[in-house]
Every structure is written in structure tokens, then in C-alpha cells.
Amino acid sequence: MLEMRGVTKAFGSTVANDSIDLELRKGEIHGLLGENGAGKSTLVKILYGLYKADEGEIYIDGEPAGITTPSDAVDRGIGMVHQHFMLVPTLSVAENVVLGAEPGQGPRLDIAAAERAVRDLSERYGLRVDPTANVGHLSVGVQQRVEVLKTLYRDARILVLDEPTAVLTPQETDELFTVLRGFVDEGLSIILITHKLGELLGVSDRITVIRDGKVVDTVVTSETDEAELARLMVGREVVLQVAKEDVEAGDVRMEASDLIVDGASGEAVSGVGLEIRSGEILGVAGVDGNGQVELAEALAGVRQPRSGRIELAGEDVTALDSAAMRARGLAYVPEDRGGKGLVGEFTLAENFVLKTYRRSMFSKIGWLLRNAIRAFARRRIDAFDVRPPNPQASAASLSGGNQQKVIVARELAGEPDVLIANQPTRGVDVGAIEFIHGQLLEQRERGAAILLISLELDEIRQLADRIAVMYDGRIVGEIDAADATDEQLGLWMAGRGGPDEDQPTGDDRVRS
Amino acid sequence: MSGDEIEEVDEAEGRRSIGEILREQVVAAGRALIFPAVALAIALLVGVVVILITGNSVIEAYAALLRGGFGSRQALGRTISNATPLIFTGLAVAIPFRGGLFNIGGEGQLFIGAIAGVWIGLTMPGPGPLVAFVAIIVAGLAGWIWGAIPGLLKIWGAHEVITTIMLNFIGINLTFWLAKNPLSGEGAVPGTGFVPEGVRLTRLGGGLGAAHYGFVLGIVAAIVAYILIWRTTKGYELRTVGQAPGAARYAGMSVAANSFLAIALGGMFAGLGGGLESLGTFGKVSVPFISNLGFNGIGVALLGRNHPAGVVLGAIFFGGLAAGAQQMQFSTGVPLDLADVLLAIVLLFVTATKLVEYLLGRRARTFAAGTRLEKGLAG
Ligand SMILES: Nc1ncnc2c1ncn2[C@@H]1O[C@H](COP(=O)(O)OP(=O)(O)OP(=O)(O)O)[C@@H](O)[C@H]1O
Ligand SMILES: [Mg+2]
């Protein structure tokens, strides 16, 4: 029903899409897979009229689609859910859904009709949302449902989702996929971009793999497996399960006790204590929003805890800020690369010294040594294979995965004693995941103490030596990785079966 | 204890060839100029309509405009003399903008600087050049203080747009009161007395009329501003805070301290501009005094995309237009107001980035960076 033929798009000297052919059938979920920077987002942005292709045509139902703006795309029945939501936080769900296509005549908004329409749609497709709720108060998962409703309200027959699961919990992902399967049963077609091979294998019908802007192959999902997909994507064999050496855990490098930390809306961490030893990875699992971000920020010196104590190699560092922590050998990879880890409009070189610009090798008496900074950036870029390998490129022009590499490359410079990594592989392709995991294990072997926070249970189980589970601001359970089971961790993540409870309480308010 | 030693790097590795730097500079300059150039073209087109309505010849009018701004030494002198304070008030907006703040207070800061400069000029004994030197320093300091107040209030949560507007009223009226009361001089025009001739800034000479060395100081100020913002660690912090406060916090930089610094620096530049204007061009502060220089600084900064080099060009453009308009009125009878209309249209299009983007195609989006107002208004 949709065909893209010979689509080509270059940004300056980078060819993001090189003569791409893609065919989308009615009633299928078509996966798009490729490394960071392969050109997936660019391709769907062309389809949605956000970019203009240099060459190539798009056909819908055999006719040239003639899409030059997003509103053309909407008219042709294409709906897009962007990775960054485009919602108005102060409006209600119903208002957001109908925005720009309001029901009723004249300038008056018929809010009742809008709410009715939203309610009908959400019931029909099993997308649970309250049409009257204020969007700003909804969780990310629910906001995403609102985005999907927006496209349905505009009668989309082709739905494009760019990395929709990067922000979802495993449960929310399952729910989303159930909804998507419902859509295709109704005859809609879906293009789905994700870096998670397992997800794609579970939900899609066919998968097109893109590498360096070119289509490598289109495969039928039921006839392929993770290893083949990874190989197609990267162009070589990928080790999906990194080998972990036995490392004897050494001294305690970082210790926190009775930490209470306030978040944006009240207390987020309620009395956490932990210790991380040299040569070990402590994994912190948990559903998003249970205090992990605030814990990481408090430990890294970005957020001042309300009470409690943090020690680094025996020294009380509770009151220090992040630059001082960095100077004492603590590295921190934050979860939000766009807002915290990088300055989008700065060059890569400038971003590489975000915390270390005061060092004598990068500045003298307040004067930036730009050549030294650039030389340092060039080295780190080469070492981590950041693309494009240009220290003068702006951080915002890099694809998501390459931005993440820049942050990891910066933080791991100079052999830190302690590393706090919050979702270090979020939105990163398998090749880069392999690389970052390898780096984390290398640091561990070298003797660094690592706190790895992740929403991906698989990642934690693969890398961690000990696993702690956070729920509602507390660590509700801790276990040796070797003894952990998915069931046990799952119970803890849902806030049940904690060490203080002999029996699961069966608390009905907690949905699992 | 810490293994946090970053391996030594060889500076030479980071050095770039002249060709590479040159190419980058040319591309950057081209990008920076394309926006104002398109805006100017549109403005001139609209101007054609206005001139035709007034029943004049378009060619003659525009020729007179150009002649009046740049056609002779006297014209150039007028342009330079107009541009001098605008360089300073333009920097007064551009630097806070880089730090994420929108300084509307240039007007008040300029007045405070002007009266402070004259106060020293009138009361300090000693050789003229020394008095002039001290007067200029004090003018800058006074402007710094007038910028520091909204900086402090910002730390306590008051938005700088509101506080700088209020401080404009206070600054202007305080200046008038000082000029009419403690510093009042004799003469028909109300205001302070004239500072001694030896304290006045030397004229550039060479047939450039009233243009004085303040212009040279303006160029120096722009260079200093550039170095400060792009070559020093302080400027690096300031830009980080302006671009991404979240990343600044993450890196351990103080958002409050840098916001304060940004707007206080802005105030200092406006104050210097005021001091040079009163000591150089007028020799006194009269009531009512030169006005709108502070506000026009906002336009200059926007036109110059908040870059010191752009500010200098923008100020010369503003100054030339004002000088040229007089000539145009004199020789063709097109009203002086046409200059204001042209300016307004240029500014409209320079700020209406979306519209020009549309005209130039989507590619132009990156060109607009640095001129977007929203950023300055947000935090
Ligand atoms: N607006 C732009 N200007 C310049 N280069 C761009 C722009 N958008 C994308 N690119 C470049 O085009 C290439 C493809 O980027 P794209 O965002 O499509 O990758 P992607 O496959 O979606 O990657 P990811 O998985 O990391 O999101 C990259 O090299 C990127 O740097
Ligand atoms: Mg993408």
C-alpha cells in the first residue's frame, strides 16, 4: 500500500539515505532496523514531509503521494509518533488529540464532542486514557498513547513509530505492542523503528535492515533470528552476550548511607544505603521513576541530598558538587543525554571538556587552550568510533547513539575510580551496546567500582555482580547476580516480596 | 588517591590548517549574513512602495540614503558617531543573551553610565586625560551595578525582563533628577554643565566631524567581548548556562553566578556607552537626554545575531540608516520616518525567523540559530 523507491537524501557530505526502496503491505508491522546514524529517522521524516528527498518517489496505493509537508502526509493517511512528543502539557488529553483538527463549526471548540471521540477511539483500540486528564500530569507511557490517538483521530492508515519503546517500561511496551497488533488486525499498516532486536522479532511481520543509508535486506521475521539481524545491521558478527571475566571485588570505593533525596515532586529517595567495591558492578533494577535518577544525581554530586552521607574512598563527599566529584575520580553518565549530558549547539570538542575545562591541560589562567581541547576530542572520537569523526561538528547534528558514545567516551577518559552509569545504552544500536558493555566490563576488570542503573533487566543480569532493586525510593531487595531469578526481581520491581515482608501483601493498588 | 589523570595530549594534534579555519569562517559568516541580507532586501522592496506613495523617485531617494550614510567624509562621520553608542548597547543585549538572559535594561544602564561619567568629569580635579579615563571607568562601573541589580533579583526568582524594564524608569528619572539638581549647570538647556574641554573625548578628525575615539573603544570592546565569550573558561561557562542549564548543573557550573555575571557585564557595556556618549558627543547630560539608544541596542544585537562582530556591523547599519535618512529628507522630501519604517521591517524579518526560513527553504533553519528570541525569554 506504500512504496518508497530510490529515496536519497544528503546532508552536506553525509548521505543519510542512499537510494532506499521500501515496501509496506496492508496489515503488516514492518520493522526498520539499523545502526545509529544509519538513516532510519531521516527516511521516515521524508515520508512524513519533514524533510524533502533529493531523489526518489513515494507511492501510496500505486499513486504518487506528492507529500511535501506534514499536513500532506496526514491527508494521505500517514500518522507519526515522534521520539520526542509534540504535546501541549497544559491542555487536556482531548484538547491535544483534536488540536489542529477540532470538531464543531466556527471558532468554538466543541469539547464534549472531542472527549466523546477520544473516548470512542480509546475504547475501540484498547488505549486506556482519561480524555479529561491534563497531559502534563501523565506518565510518558500514557503520553505516548495520546500521540497514537492523535494519529488515529486523523484517520491514519499508516502509522510510523520512531523508537517508541525507548521510553517505556517492559510492561508498557507489551501493552503498546498488543495495541499495535490490534491495529493491523483492523487493516492499518505500521512502520516501527527500534533498536531492540527481541521486540522486533516478537511483534513485526517483516524487517528491513539499513546500513550506512542503504537497504541491506528485507527479511521475513519468522525466518530470522537475533544473530542474523545483528550481522546484517553491523556487517560483521556481533557478540550479543559479552564475556565476563571473574574479578575479585576489592575495597569499598563508594559508600552511601541513609540517603534521603528530594526530586521535583517531593521525596524521591527515602533512605537508601549502598556500597560499591572496586572491580564490581552493582546493578540497580527497577521500573522508571522509582528514584533512580535522583539517587544517581545525589551520588554524582549533581543533586544535594536532604540528609544522609556519601563517602568516596573513605572521605566524606556529601557536600561536594559534580566538578569536585569528578576531580576525585567519579564519572557519571546521566540518563538524559540531550538535556544534561551534552550541549546541543556546542561542538563535540567543547562537549568533551564539559567537566574538565578547568584542568591545566585544557585551560591556563582562564584561557581555553582550544588546540589541546580539539586534540583530546579527536583522540576520544577515534577511540570510540564516534561518527562523524569531526570535533567541530555540533553535538545536536549527531544521531542519538553517537551522542551517547560521546558522553561515555568523555566520562571514561582518565580511568575513573567510580562510575555511575544511568541507562548508558538507551537508544543505542546493538553494535554500540556491545561496545559500551565491553567498556564497562573493561573498567571493572581494571578495578573501577561501577553502579549501573538500567530499566532493562537483561542488561543488568548480563553485567552486574550484585543486583539491587529500587521501588518507591527504597532498595527493596538485593541479591547476588548468580542467585537472581527473573521472578524474584520482577516481584521486587512491583514492590512486593521485599525483605521486610514475609509474604507478598497482595496490594491491589500495585499493578504489575 | 585518584586515578583521574587524563592522558597528556599533544597540542599540535588539535591544530587546524589555515585553510580549514578560513573555510569555516567564510561559511559561518555567509550563514550569519544571509538572514539580515534577505531581511534588508524585503525592507527595501517595501520601502519602494512607501517612496512611490510619497511621489518621489525611488532611485533618487535610495541614492540619497546611501550618500547620506556613506557617501562622504562628513556622512561617514555622522554614521560613526551614531554607531558608537549602539555598539555598546548592542553588546549589552548580546552578552546577556549568550548567557540565556534578555536584557531590556540597556536604556537605564546607559543613562546611569552617562550621568556617572559626567559627574566625574565635572567634579574630579586633575589632568584632563586622567579625568576622562576615570570617568569612563566609573561609567562602566555604574552600568555594571545597574545590571547587577536585576542579576541579583534573578537569583531570587524575579524575571529579568520585568526587572530591567522597571530599572529603566528608575535609571532614567534618577539621571534627570541628578542632572537638574545636584549637578545642574547654567545655560538655556536644562541639565548638567559642560565638562571641561580637556575631559572631552578627542575627535577622530580627518573630516569625520563629530565622530570621536569612542568608536575605536567600541571596536575594542567588541573584540574584548568576543575573547571573553569564546576564548575563556568564564565565557565557556556563561554559554553553557545560556544554552543548556541542565548540562551546566550536571557539569558543576553555577547557573545563578553565571546569569548574574552575564547581565552585569551587559550593564557595564551599556554604562560605558552612556559615558562615552556624554563625555564625547555631548559633553553634558541634558534633560531630556539622548534617548532610545538602549532600546535600539536590542535591534542591533538581533541584527548582529548576538555576535560581537555582528553587533559592530549592525550598529554601523543602524547609524548609517539614520544618517542617510536625513540626507534623503533633505534632497528628496521623503520623510525621515521612512528610515524607521525600513528599520522596523528589517527587524521584523530578522526576528520572524520562521517566515524567512520559509522563504529560503528549510535549509535556512540552522542560519537562524542565535537570533531566536524564545530562548532568551524562556528561563
Ligand atoms: N539535520 C541534519 N543535519 C545534518 N546531518 C544530519 C541531520 N539529520 C541527520 N543527519 C545525519 O544523517 C545520518 C542519519 O541520521 P538519522 O537520524 O536518520 O539516523 P538514525 O538511523 O535514526 O540513527 P539513531 O538510531 O541513532 O536514531 C547521521 O549521520 C546524522 O548525523
Ligand atoms: Mg533516529
Chain A residues near residue B244 by CB distance under 8 angstroms: 339, 342-344
pLDDT at A506: 40
Please indicate, yes or no, whether residues A144 and A63 belong to a single structural domain of this protein: yes
Residue that is written with C-alpha cell 527473573 in the block:
A486
Is B76 within the bounds of a domain?
Answer: yes
**Weakest mean pLDDT among A359-363, B189-193, B207-211, B359-363:** B359-363
Residue A45 in contact with residue A210, Cβ under 8 Å? no
**Nearest to B95, CA basis, from B297, B256, B296:** B297
User: What value does the mean pLDDT take over residues A33-47?
Assistant: 91
pLDDT at A237: 79
Is B16 within the bounds of a domain?
Answer: no
Across the interface, whether the CB atoms of A355 and B369 are under 8 A apart is answered no
Residue that is written with C-alpha cell 580635579 in the block:
B125
Range(s) of the domain holding residue B298: 31-378
Is A360 within the bounds of a domain?
Answer: no
Range(s) of the domain holding residue A56: 2-234
Q: What's the structural domain count of chain B?
A: 1
The DSSP bridge pattern shows strands A189-193 and A158-162 to be parallel
pLDDT at A329: 92
Taking the CA of B363 as reference, the closest ligand is 1
Cell of A304: 544535594
User: What value does the mean pLDDT take over residues B114-133?
Assistant: 93
Please enumerate in sequence order all residues whose Cβ is within 8 A of that of A265, keeping only pairs 6 or more positions apart, or say none. none
Chain B residues near residue A379 by CB distance under 8 angstroms: 7, 9, 13
Distance from the Cα of B269 to chain A's closest Cα (Å) equals: 21
**Weakest mean pLDDT among A262-271, B204-213, B227-236:** B204-213
What single string gives the DSSP state of each residue in A332-398? Answer: EE-S-IIIII--TTSBHHHHHTTTTTTSTTTEETTEE-HHHHHHHHHHHHHHTT-SS--TTSBGGGS
Please indicate, yes or no, whether residues A304 and A441 belong to a single structural domain of this protein: yes
H helices of A186-277, in order, are 197-203, 226-234
The predicted-structure confidence for B173-184, as pLDDT tens digits, reads as follows 999 999 988 888
Residue A374 in contact with residue A381, Cβ under 8 Å? no
User: What value does the mean pLDDT take over residues B69-74?
Assistant: 91
B319 sits in which H/E element:
helix B308-332
Position with higher pLDDT, A330 vs B373: A330
pLDDT at B378: 32
Is B231 within the bounds of a domain?
Answer: yes
Q: What is the CATH number of the domain that holds B280?
A: 1.10.3470
Of A176, A206, A234, the position where a domain reaches its end is A234
What's the Cα-to-Cα distance from A447 to each of A56, A251, A277, A465, A473, rounded to whole Å? 53, 10, 9, 13, 29
pLDDT at A478: 93
Please indicate, yes or no, whether residues A168 and A280 belong to a single structural domain of this protein: no
To test the contact with chain B by mutation, choose from A354, A411, A446, A450 the residue with the greatest count of B C-beta atoms within 10 A, namely A354
Q: Is A59 an 8 Å CB contact of chain B?
A: no
User: What value does the mean pLDDT take over residues A257-264?
Assistant: 92
Cell of B374: 524564545
Distance CA B352, CA B200 (A): 41
The predicted-structure confidence for A104-116, as pLDDT tens digits, reads as follows 666 667 788 888 8
Cα of B216 vs centre of ligand 2, distance in Å, is 50
Residue that is written with C-alpha cell 520482577 in the block:
A490
List strand residue ranges (DSSP E) for A61-212, in order. Answer: 63-64, 78-81, 158-162, 189-193, 206-211
pLDDT band (50, 70, 90) for residue B369: very low
Whether ligand 1 lies within 6 angstroms of the CB of A213 is answered as no
Amino acid at A228: E
Taking the CA of A400 as reference, the closest ligand is 1
The predicted-structure confidence for A217-232, as pLDDT tens digits, reads as follows 999 999 999 889 989 9
Burial of A414 (C-beta count, 10 Å sphere; 0-12/13-18/19+): middle
Distance from the Cα of B302 to chain A's closest Cα (Å) equals: 18
pLDDT at B360: 58
Please indicate, yes or no, whether residues A193 and A306 belong to a single structural domain of this protein: no
Q: What is the CATH number of the domain that holds A312?
A: 3.40.50.300
In what side-by-side order are the strands of the sheet with A315-316? A266-277, A252-263, A307-312, A315-316
pLDDT at A437: 92
Q: What's the structural domain count of chain A?
A: 2
Residue A449 confidence (pLDDT) above 50: yes
Across the interface, whether the CB atoms of B249 and A324 are under 8 A apart is answered no
Residue B79 confidence (pLDDT) above 70: yes
Please indicate, yes or no, whether residues A278 and A144 belong to a single structural domain of this protein: no
Pocket test for ligand 1, best of A8, A9, A11 (most atoms within 8 A of CB): A11
Is A227 within the bounds of a domain?
Answer: yes
Provide the residues around ligand 2 (an ion) whose CB is within 5 A. A 41
Distance CA B327, CA B336 (A): 9
pLDDT band (50, 70, 90) for residue B375: very low
Residue A190 confidence (pLDDT) above 60: yes
Is B90 within the bounds of a domain?
Answer: yes
pLDDT at B7: 59
What's the Cα-to-Cα distance from B32 to each of A492, B132, B297, rounded to whole Å? 56, 37, 18
Whether ligand 1 lies within 6 angstroms of the CB of A32 is answered as no
The predicted-structure confidence for A280-317, as pLDDT tens digits, reads as follows 999 999 888 889 999 999 999 999 999 999 999 999 99
% of chain B exceeding 70 in pLDDT = 90
Please indicate, yes or no, whether residues A84 and A110 belong to a single structural domain of this protein: yes
Is B135 within the bounds of a domain?
Answer: yes
**Nearest to A305, CA basis, from A277, A267, A274:** A267
Taking the CA of A43 as reference, the closest ligand is 1
- Closest chain A residue to the Cα of B7, Cα to Cα: A414
Cell of B36: 539580515
Please indicate, yes or no, whether residues A212 and A88 belong to a single structural domain of this protein: yes
Distance CA B277, CA B245 (A): 36
Burial of B194 (C-beta count, 10 Å sphere; 0-12/13-18/19+): middle
To test the contact with chain B by mutation, choose from A293, A355, A376 the residue with the greatest count of B C-beta atoms within 10 A, namely A376
Please indicate, yes or no, whether residues A185 and A301 belong to a single structural domain of this protein: no
Amino acid at B76: L
Residue B265 confidence (pLDDT) above 90: yes
Is A143 within the bounds of a domain?
Answer: yes
Distance from the Cα of B119 to chain A's closest Cα (Å) equals: 35
To test the contact with chain B by mutation, choose from A254, A371, A392 the residue with the greatest count of B C-beta atoms within 10 A, namely A371
The DSSP bridge pattern shows strands A307-312 and A252-263 to be antiparallel
Please indicate, yes or no, whether residues A62 and A107 belong to a single structural domain of this protein: yes
Whether ligand 1 lies within 6 angstroms of the CB of A381 is answered as no
Across the interface, whether the CB atoms of A367 and B240 are under 8 A apart is answered no
Q: Is A78 an 8 Å CB contact of chain B?
A: no
Is A380 within the bounds of a domain?
Answer: no
Whether ligand 1 lies within 6 angstroms of the CB of A400 is answered as yes
Q: Coil, strand or helix: which one is A463?
A: helix
Residue that is written with C-alpha cell 521475521 in the block:
A221
Distance CA A102, CA A108 (A): 9
Measured in whole angstroms, how far is the alpha carbon of residue B343 from the centre of its chain? 15
**Nearest to A500, CA basis, from A470, A476, A473:** A476
Taking the CA of A428 as reference, the closest ligand is 1
**Nearest to B284, CA basis, from B216, B185, B188:** B185
User: What value does the mean pLDDT take over residues B157-169?
Assistant: 93
Q: Write the residue in A344, A366, A417 that is nearest to B244 by C-beta.
A: A344
Dihedral (C-alpha) B125, B126, B132, B138: value to the nearest 10 degrees? Answer: -50
H helices of A235-321, in order, are 292-300
> ipTM greater than 0.90, yes or no?
no
Distance from the Cα of A162 to chain B's closest Cα (Å) equals: 22
Is A378 within the bounds of a domain?
Answer: no
Is A340 within the bounds of a domain?
Answer: no
pLDDT band (50, 70, 90) for residue A512: very low
**Nearest to A33, CA basis, from A258, A154, A201:** A201
Neighbouring C-alpha atoms within 13 Å toward the C-beta of B303: 29
Residue B202 in contact with residue B129, Cβ under 8 Å? no
Across the interface, whether the CB atoms of B2 and A417 are under 8 A apart is answered yes
Residue B87 in contact with residue B342, Cβ under 8 Å? no
Q: Mean pLDDT highest for which of A36-40, B5-9, B206-210, B341-345?
A: A36-40
What single string gives the DSSP state of each residue in B140-159? Answer: HHHHHHHHHHHHHHHHTT--
pLDDT band (50, 70, 90) for residue A17: very high
Cell of B303: 541584527
Amino acid at A303: R
**Residues of A (403-462) whose Cβ lies below 8 Å from B:** 413-417
Across the interface, whether the CB atoms of A367 and B7 are under 8 A apart is answered no
pLDDT at B353: 62
Please indicate, yes or no, whether residues A483 and A435 belong to a single structural domain of this protein: yes
**Nearest to B298, CA basis, from B62, B9, B103:** B103
Please indicate, yes or no, whether residues A59 and A208 belong to a single structural domain of this protein: yes
Of A205, A234, A263, the position where a domain reaches its end is A234
Residue B184 in contact with residue B53, Cβ under 8 Å? no
Residue that is written with C-alpha cell 511535501 in the block:
A68
Residue A441 in contact with residue A244, Cβ under 8 Å? yes
Ligand 1 atom having least distance to the Cα of A429: 25
User: What value does the mean pLDDT take over residues B153-166?
Assistant: 92
pLDDT at B6: 57
**Nearest to B171, CA basis, from B315, B271, B316:** B271
Cell of A53: 528527498
What's the Cα-to-Cα distance from B330 to each of A16, A411, B74, B323, B344, rounded to whole Å? 57, 66, 15, 11, 22
Q: What own/partner pairs with CB < 8 Å and gap ≥ 24 does A137-142 have?
A: A138/A93, A139/A289, A140/A167, A140/A168, A140/A288, A141/A167, A141/A168, A141/A169, A141/A172, A141/A175, A141/A176
Distance CA A1, CA A5 (A): 13
What's the Cα-to-Cα distance from A164 to each of A125, A378, A414, B50, rounded to whole Å? 17, 33, 35, 54
In what side-by-side order are the strands of the sheet with A63-64? A14-24, A2-11, A55-60, A63-64
Residue B34 confidence (pLDDT) above 90: no
Q: Is B362 an 8 Å CB contact of chain A?
A: yes
Please indicate, yes or no, whether residues A308 and A180 belong to a single structural domain of this protein: no
B55-85 CB burial, b ≥16 within 10 A, e <16: ebebeebbbbbebbbebeebbbbbbbbbbbb
User: What value does the mean pLDDT take over residues B76-94?
Assistant: 96
Distance CA A400, CA A426 (A): 9
Position with higher pLDDT, A258 vs A490: A258
In this structure, chain A runs to a length of 512
**Residues of A (358-387) whose Cβ lies below 8 Å from B:** 358-359, 361, 363, 366-379
What's the Cα-to-Cα distance from A313 to each of A254, A259, A316, A414, A420, rounded to whole Å? 6, 17, 9, 18, 15
pTM exceeds 0.95, yes or no: no
pLDDT at B372: 42
A415-442 CB burial, b ≥16 within 10 A, e <16: bbbbbbbbbbbbbbbbbbbbbbbebbbe
Please enumerate in sequence order all residues whose Cβ is within 8 A of that of B120, keeping only pairs 6 or more positions apart, or say none. B131, B134, B135, B138, B139
Q: CA triplet A313, A318, A322: central angle to 5 degrees?
A: 90
Of A204, A234, A264, the position where a domain reaches its end is A234
